[in-house]
Structure formats: structure tokens, C-alpha cells
Amino acid sequence: MEALVEQFFSTLQARTPQGLRSPVDGVLRVDLYTGEHTEHWVVTMEAGKPIAAPGYAEADTVWRSDAELFEKLVTGESQPVAALLRNDATLSGDVTLFLAFRRFFPPSPHARDPRTMGAVGPETPA
């Protein structure tokens, strides 16, 4: 599990152009707990470019969830807004920063582009 989380944070900067549509500034802390242990990650975004590092720091926004849920987020198995609505995670602080950060999570592998849902191919005569 830790390897997935580390890989997610270490590749944030490489995925910035596709992740962010506008520059965002701020500090987001991700608190991941497993039982009594909490792991902290700090993501500093300056001009929309993220720099992530393990550790604790004061932050504009704090995401808190169990480590298992976060693993599902980084694999696209779950979505961050849905996790918040289910109360599986908590968020405090600047929501705008979180809304920008959530773009770094992959889409669900079962997601389909809504623009293609209503598309019908040419009918073939019977």
C-alpha cells in the first residue's frame, strides 16, 4: 500500500499539465491513518505546480481518511468527492484547493465519457 501512495505523490509534478486547468496556490496536508498510526503528506502548490513530501505541516486544507481508502483513490477505484459525501473522509480548510487537487486522482476504470453515451451508430437495414 505504501508503495502506491509514494508513487502517487512522487509523480504529481509529472501529471500537472493534465491535472490542473488553472494555477492554484496553497498547502494541502493529507493525513492517512491505519489503526493508531497516522502518516502525513504535505503538498505545496505554487502557481499550480505541486511539490509533495512526507511530513507534517500547517496547511490551508487537510484531507483525512484511512490509508485503505486513499489507495482506492489513487487507483481510481473510489472518487474523493464521493468519499466525502459518504463520510469516509473529512476535509477542512480551503475547498478550492481540494477541488484542484482531486484532479490528480485517476478516473474510475469503469467511467465512460457522457458525450458518447447517447451516440448511436448508423442503423443497418434489416
- Which residue, chain included where needed, has cell 500537472? 16
Task: State the CATH number of the domain containing residue 66.
Answer: 3.30.1050.10
By residue range, what is the domain housing residue 53?
A: 2-103
| pLDDT by position in tens, the chain (length 126) | 578 899 999 998 887 766 566 778 999 999 999 999 999 999 999 877 889 999 999 999 999 999 999 999 999 999 999 999 999 999 999 999 999 899 888 887 776 666 666 655 555 555
What nine digits make up the cell of 43? 503538498
Domain assignment present for 6 = yes
Domain assignment present for 69 = yes
Angle between helices 67-75 and 2-10 (to 10 degrees): 50
Domain assignment present for 108 = no
Domain count across the chain: 1
pTM for the predicted model, two decimal places:
0.81
